[in-house]
Amino acid sequence: MQNQYYNLEAESAVLGALLINNDIFDEVNDIIKPEHFYAYEYQEVYKLIATIISKGQKAEVITVSQLAALNEKLKNIINVKYLTDIITSIPNFDSARDYAEIIKDNYIRRELVELLNNTSSNLTTFDNAIDAIKSIEVDIFQLAEHYFVGNSVKSFGDSLELALHTATTAKQHNGISGIATHFKDLDTHLGGLQKSDLIVVAGRPAMGKTALVTNIAYNVAGMDDSNAVLFFSLEMSAEQLASRILAQETSITSDALRKGLFSDNDFSKLAAAVSTLKSKPLFIDDSPILTVSELRSKARRFKRNNNLGLIVIDYLQLMSSNRKNDNRIVELSEITRGLKAVAKELNVPVIALSQLSRAVEAREDKKPVLSDLRESGTIEQDADVVAFIYREEYYMQRGEPIVPPNEDKTKNDAWQKWFSKLQKVQNLATLMLAKNRHGATTNINLRFNAKFTKFEDLDKVHSPH
């Protein structure tokens, strides 16, 4: 079956065109390599042409046949007559690039058939079907990467046009050149979420990472040009995320929703909210196991049918790399590099949540710093933006002074001092932009309503000193 995937006419046409006009070599070589040719002789002719051109010489019938004559295996095959016949067979000189695309497509098809045949014959070597699927997935992902390698070089003029378009968009949208999060200060500092950016939001447990990205996903979905959001939730189910959003929009706690502790009036409010929210282009994938190649495949399929504006992943450490690795740091590095590649390929921002190591808890100052990411692969290098969520209130609550049972707390100096500090940071959160490839780093103050897991812009009246 494999042998049906070749086109000798296309292969001959590309070689003939190159022998007549060496100027098209670079254009063709961006698409195909010698191994892409099905015919062994054609592979060798292409190699000879490439060798001669790389030396700055003219690759034509005479020079190619002379070089072939120096090789014992080729001298009786590739001669003047053989090369002349190739030239006379060219159907259309101007279509060399199109023929090169045909050659590459057939090569990919042959490789795919071989991959599937090998997997089929080796199925018994896998412990279970899932391992077999993962193995196929990795190989296909690599094959797809091979297919999409092309000419990524852009002229400076084209790049300038893109830069001007970005600047014009920002001017027309009050400084927002990307996708607005609708958190005012965050949008001001980032200019919105930029296409092809990998944005890592990190923090210790209970800081509100999921709540923040859920708020952003909800704000983005459908707001600008009907942007659809694809949310990969590896920790929470789709129903749990939906409950959170319902709680935020109706001011009925998730706990009350889960236990049915709401009034008839609240039920009417819920029904109205569901009716409004269900048209939001927010899509949740709650698969508990996810690799970068799986995410890429799902996102590509999704983008074909939707105006994909944002991808969210909750969270990095729950993902698996395409290949098993005993070194988790190396594995996480592969994941973050893969996510950055997905952001660039699909031209959408990708927000990925990340846990921080317990080392933060051992310090007196619990505010995260970039070095806290160093045990998590290459996140710091791969990410365009790194933001830490920090809530001092959480740590203050855990540090409540112990007051003897027979003593009035309000008259205890230590407790009073602690309570006074707690009031100043109550419901406050800091989003620390520790890395920002597009501008300055800064701290952004937000209000966090733990009851409804909701972040909001902090009004200036209640802004911390």
What are the tens digits of pLDDT across the range 192-207? 888 889 999 998 888 8
Is 155 among the domain residues?
no
Residue 336 CB coordination number (10 Å): 25
Q: Say whether pLDDT at 87 is over 60.
A: yes
Same domain, 140 and 46: yes
**Same-domain check for residues 99 and 205:** no
pLDDT number for residue 44 = 92
Question: Per-residue pLDDT tens for 239-293?
Answer: 888 888 888 788 887 778 777 777 778 788 888 888 878 888 888 888 888 888 7
**Burial of residue 13 (number of CB atoms within 10 Å: 0-12, 13-18, 19+):** buried
* Other Cβ atoms closer than 10 A to 408: 9
Q: Provide Rg for the chain, Cα atoms.
A: 30
Do the domain assignments include residue 29? yes
Mean pLDDT of 445-462: 77
Domain boundary pick from 88, 115, 148: 148
pLDDT of residue 67: 92
For 431, the enclosing helix (H) or strand (E) is strand 428-436
Clarify whether residues 81 and 186 are in a common domain: no
Containing domain of residue 269, as a range?
Answer: 171-390+427-462
243: CATH: 3.40.50.300
Average pLDDT for the chain:
81
Whether residue 296 is found in the same domain as residue 383: yes
Question: How does pLDDT run across 349-369, given as a tens digit for each residue?
Answer: 999 999 887 878 778 788 888
pLDDT of residue 331 exceeding 70, the answer is yes
In a domain, 306, yes or no: yes
For the ranges 77-81, 272-276, 289-293, 372-376, the lowest mean pLDDT is seen at 372-376
Phi, psi of 278 (to 5 degrees): -65, -15
Task: Count structural domains, the chain.
Answer: 2
- Beginning with the edge strand found earlier in the chain, give each strand of the sheet holding 198-203 in spatial order: 282-285, 228-233, 308-314, 350-355, 198-203, 385-390, 428-436, 442-449, 454-457
Arithmetic mean of pLDDT, 379-398 = 86
List Cβ neighbours of 36 (8 Å cut-off, separation of 6 or more): 103, 104, 107
Q: Above pLDDT 90, what percent of the chain?
A: 13
Quick check: is 212 in a domain?
Answer: yes
Q: Does residue 93 have a pLDDT over 70?
A: no
pLDDT tens string 121-142: 777 777 777 777 766 776 776 6
Q: Is the dihedral of CA 7, 13, 18, 24 positive or negative?
A: negative
**3 state DSSP class of 454:** strand
Same domain flag for 253 and 386: yes
Is the residue at 163 inside a domain? no
Task: Tell which wins on pLDDT, 223 or 1.
Answer: 223
- Residue 230 confidence (pLDDT): 92
Q: Measuring CA to CA, how many Å separate 355 from each of 214, 242, 271, 402?
A: 16, 22, 35, 31
Residue 219 resides in a domain:
yes
CA distances (Å), origin 27, targets 24, 30, 64, 128, 391: 5, 6, 20, 45, 55
251: helix, strand or coil: coil
Domain match, 205 and 315 both: yes
147: cis peptide before it, omega within 30°? no
Which of 133, 148, 163 is the last residue before a domain boundary?
Answer: 148
Looking at residue 102, its amino acid is I
Give kind and range of the element (H or E) at residue 82.
Answer: helix 80-88
Q: Is residue 343 part of a domain?
A: yes
Do 236 and 385 belong to one domain? Answer: yes
Any domain includes 417: no
Kind plus residue range of the DSSP H or E element containing 455 = strand 454-457
Residues 340 and 196 in one domain: yes
Residue 115, pLDDT above cutoff 70: yes
- 246 with 385, same domain? yes
Q: Are residues 454 and 379 in the same domain?
A: yes
Q: List the CATH number of the domain containing 48.
A: 1.10.860.10
Q: How confident is the model at residue 225 (pLDDT cuts 50, 70, 90)?
A: low
One domain, residues 99 and 204? no
Same-domain check for residues 123 and 243: no
Which residue, 139, 103, 85, 91, is CA-closest to 28?
103
Q: What gap in Å lies between CA 49 and CA 72, rounded to an integer?
A: 18
Q: Cα-flanking dihedrals φ and ψ of residue 372, to 5°?
A: -70, -15
Q: How far is it, in rounded angstroms, from Cα 375 to Cα 327?
A: 11
